[in-house]
Amino acid sequence: MANKPSSKGRQPGKSTRHPGATDNVKGRVGRMLAKSEKNGTYETATEAETAVLVAVPDKRQADARTQEYLDELEFLAETAGATVTKRFVQRLDKPDIRTFVGEGKLEEIRAYVEHTQASMVIFDDDLSPSQLRNLEAELKVKIVDRSLLIIDIFASRAKSATARAQVELAQYQYLLPRLTGLWSHLDKQRGGGVSQRGPGETEIETDRRVVRDRIALLKEKLKDFDKQSSTQRKARTGIIRVALVGYTNVGKSTIMNLLSRSEVFAENKLFATVDSTVRKVVLETTPFLLSDTVGFIRKLPTRLIESFKSTLDEIREADLLVHVVDISHPTFEEQIAVVNETLKDIEAADKPMLLVFNKIDLYNPEQAPSDHPNFEGMNEDDDAPAARPTLEQLKATYMAKMHDPVIFISAQERENIEELRALLVRHVSRLYEQRYPSVRPISEDETE
Ligand SMILES: Nc1nc2c(ncn2[C@@H]2O[C@H](COP(=O)(O)OP(=O)(O)OP(=O)(O)O)[C@@H](O)[C@H]2O)c(=O)[nH]1
Ligand SMILES: [Mg+2]
């Protein structure tokens, strides 16, 4: 969808773009992203591509943590279609301003990339436009940063018109400051000096204008979508709204399917859900609207959150949040913190919340971090990770320490699902009493 050549029904409108200018921009995006045959979006990787991961943690970060972060980055890379063959880690107080990693590490990466013909190098952070340009020039392969990788996964998954427009906006916002970088890189290849005003300059200006026009157009389009959905939302007053929120891949869609007997796409990949889905659910005699929403992730690019505002409205306007946690994940506590932070960012932190610890079937206190033969940069003298508490201990701790109600389930094995339903009914009924004290609870046939 994004950057799709001559999309049907796309009017140039009052745009001042020159014929062919969009193609230039597309060419530029195409250099950063390989074009997907599937749906016209640009993808980071095709099936056969291999990727090298690079992380630059600060010196205090424990190695086990670095490895877990890289596990997540590898999962993202796989979701985008690439196979990871190697991980490079360099501990630095702060990343190198020119090439993100230091000279020696860069040389190591270059040698590896050259030797193995890796298709791309993926960084676990965002790169500045000049870092991107320098790394491209030095390593001579596709350079992907965290934002690009995430935006790209979103692009391949967005289905509704709103989600697609949102992703396209994020793509263009990512591209805009990087247009110069790509051109200077080309200028250098042509032998032009860095400060020399080459023939590329006017073209960059034209491209920038095209991208800016497109951003403006998309923002207008999203405003229209917003108006439509706020009209729809107004029609829903009188019914309590519940939103499933949580880190990506924790089981939100699986729970949605269980509770609403619907068929929301759930799979073991990050960001399976990019569009939000709303279903009416009636438990016992209590009706409510349940929405499944896009998962959160650490270091989610702010731009992406911004462009997803209308999807996130489902969360912002919910009466109750059901925060789903994957208790089997080694960093589930950090994931809870990331979700709470993101909820704060979108001003949805003060809502009543139920905490659902999912995947108890997978929880294993003996689980040690997996071995990564392709992992470099571990400190030999690093302490072994502390043993994890048993599920019973965890339950006791969380039930005691959380202000919000807590429940432990397995959506897949259908464990404790009846208890989850009962908990929801209790809280939703209470919300009806608070919101509509003078009204008797609404029965099913009155809600739609
Ligand atoms: N073992 C186990 N797997 C589960 C459980 N619940 C969900 N899963 C699996 O976890 C994976 C992710 O589930 P989803 O429901 O897609 O997760 P999500 O939170 O909607 O993910 P995103 O939409 O990507 O944010 C799928 O492969 C599910 O089958 C569970 O209780 N136990
Ligand atoms: Mg989902």
Domains delineated in the chain: 21-218 (3.40.50.11060), 236-446 (3.40.50.300)
The Cα 149–Cα 163 span in angstroms is: 17
Strands 34-35 and 42-43: antiparallel
The answer to whether the annotation marks 248 as part of a ligand binding site is: yes
Is ligand 1 within 6 A of the CB of residue 327?
A: no
Bigger pLDDT: 403 or 60?
A: 60
Reference 23, options 241, 236, 207, 276; nearest CA is 207
What tokens were used for 164? 């697609």
Look at residue 40 and tell me whether its pLDDT is greater than 50. Answer: no
Nearest CA to ligand 1 atom 30: 359
Q: To test the ligand 1 pocket, which listed residue (76, 78, 249, 265) has its Cβ within 8 A of the most ligand atoms?
A: 249
Nearest CA to ligand 1 atom 2: 359
Look at residue 32 and tell me whether its pLDDT is greater than 50. Answer: no
Is ligand 1 within 6 A of the CB of residue 334?
A: no
Q: To test the ligand 1 pocket, which listed residue (75, 253, 364) has its Cβ within 8 A of the most ligand atoms?
A: 253
Q: Which atom of ligand 1 is nearest to the CA of 410?
A: 31
The complex scores an ipTM of 0.99
In the reported structure, the alpha carbon of residue 355 is separated from the centroid of ligand 2 by a whole-number distance in angstroms of 17
Exposure class string for 411-444: b at 16+ Cβ within 10 A, else e: beeebbbeebbebbbebbbebbeeeeeeeeebee
Query: Percentage of residues in the chain with pLDDT exceeding 90?
Result: 43
Crossing angle of helices 417-435 and 252-260, rounded to 10° = 80
Bridge partners of 408, per DSSP, are 357
Compute the half-sphere exposure of residue 136: CA atoms within 13 Å on the CB side of its CA.
22
Maximum Cα–Cα distance across the chain: 77
Nearest CA to ligand 1 atom 14: 251
**Quick check: 169 and 307 in contact, CB under 8 A?**
yes
Residue listed under structure tokens 């690009």: 148
User: pLDDT value at position 311?
Assistant: 74
The Cα 19–Cα 9 span in angstroms is: 17
| Residues 16-23: contacts with CB under 8 Å, at least 24 apart | 16/209, 16/213, 17/206, 17/209, 17/210, 17/213, 18/206, 21/206, 21/207, 21/209, 21/210, 22/210
Give the sheet arrangement for strand 277-283, strand by strand: 277-283, 286-292, 241-246, 320-326, 353-358, 406-408
Backbone angles phi, psi at 96, to 5 degrees: -65, 135
| Region 205-216 average pLDDT | 88
**Quick check: 270 and 295 in contact, CB under 8 A?**
yes
The answer to whether the annotation marks 154 as part of a ligand binding site is: no
The Cα 100–Cα 106 span in angstroms is: 9
The answer to whether the annotation marks 252 as part of a ligand binding site is: yes
Give the confidence band of 29 by pLDDT, cuts at 50, 70, 90.
Answer: very low
Look at residue 113 and tell me whether its pLDDT is greater than 80. Answer: yes
The answer to whether the annotation marks 237 as part of a ligand binding site is: no
Average per-residue pLDDT in the chain? 79
| Residues 63-68: contacts with CB under 8 Å, at least 24 apart | 63/377, 63/378, 63/379, 63/382, 64/369, 64/382, 64/385, 65/331, 66/377, 67/369, 67/372, 67/375, 67/378, 68/330, 68/331, 68/369
Query: Percentage of residues in the chain with pLDDT exceeding 70?
Result: 75
Is ligand 1 within 6 A of the CB of residue 411?
A: yes
Bigger pLDDT: 386 or 69?
A: 69
The answer to whether the annotation marks 151 as part of a ligand binding site is: no
Strands 286-292 and 320-326: unpaired
The answer to whether the annotation marks 296 as part of a ligand binding site is: no
Of all ligands present, the nearest one to the C-alpha of 411 is 1
Give the confidence band of 355 by pLDDT, cuts at 50, 70, 90.
Answer: very high
Of all ligands present, the nearest one to the C-alpha of 410 is 1
pLDDT digits (tens, 9 = 90+) for 10-21: 333 333 333 333
| Region 133-153 average pLDDT | 91
The Cα 299–Cα 294 span in angstroms is: 15
Is ligand 1 within 6 A of the CB of residue 272?
A: yes
Coil, helix or strand at residue 412: coil
Q: To test the ligand 1 pocket, which listed residue (72, 308, 362, 412) has its Cβ within 8 A of the most ligand atoms?
A: 412
User: pLDDT value at position 14?
Assistant: 31
In the reported structure, the alpha carbon of residue 406 is separated from the centroid of ligand 1 by a whole-number distance in angstroms of 19
Which parts of 16-62 fold into alpha helices (H)?
Answer: 21-32
Is ligand 1 within 6 A of the CB of residue 412?
A: yes
367 DSSP assignment: P
| CA of residue 428 relative to chain centroid, distance | 29
CB-based neighbours (< 5 A) of ligand 2, an ion: 252-253, 272-273
Look at residue 71 and tell me whether its pLDDT is greater than 90. Answer: yes
Nearest CA to ligand 1 atom 7: 251
**Quick check: 329 and 298 in contact, CB under 8 A?**
no
User: pLDDT value at position 320?
Assistant: 97
Of all ligands present, the nearest one to the C-alpha of 249 is 1
Look at residue 56 and tell me whether its pLDDT is greater than 60. Answer: yes
Please list the helix, strand and coil fractions of the chain in percent, rounded to the nearest 5, in that order. 45, 15, 40
| Region 324-330 average pLDDT | 95
pLDDT digits (tens, 9 = 90+) for 410-431: 999 999 999 999 999 999 999 9
In the reported structure, the alpha carbon of residue 273 is separated from the centroid of ligand 1 by a whole-number distance in angstroms of 11
User: pLDDT value at position 226?
Assistant: 82
The answer to whether the annotation marks 292 as part of a ligand binding site is: yes
Is ligand 1 within 6 A of the CB of residue 248?
A: yes
| Region 248-261 average pLDDT | 92
Look at residue 162 and tell me whether its pLDDT is greater than 60. Answer: yes
| Region 192-215 average pLDDT | 68
249 DSSP assignment: T
Give the confidence band of 443 by pLDDT, cuts at 50, 70, 90.
Answer: low
Least confident range of 4-18, 116-130, 408-422 = 4-18
The answer to whether the annotation marks 275 as part of a ligand binding site is: yes
Give the confidence band of 319 by pLDDT, cuts at 50, 70, 90.
Answer: very high
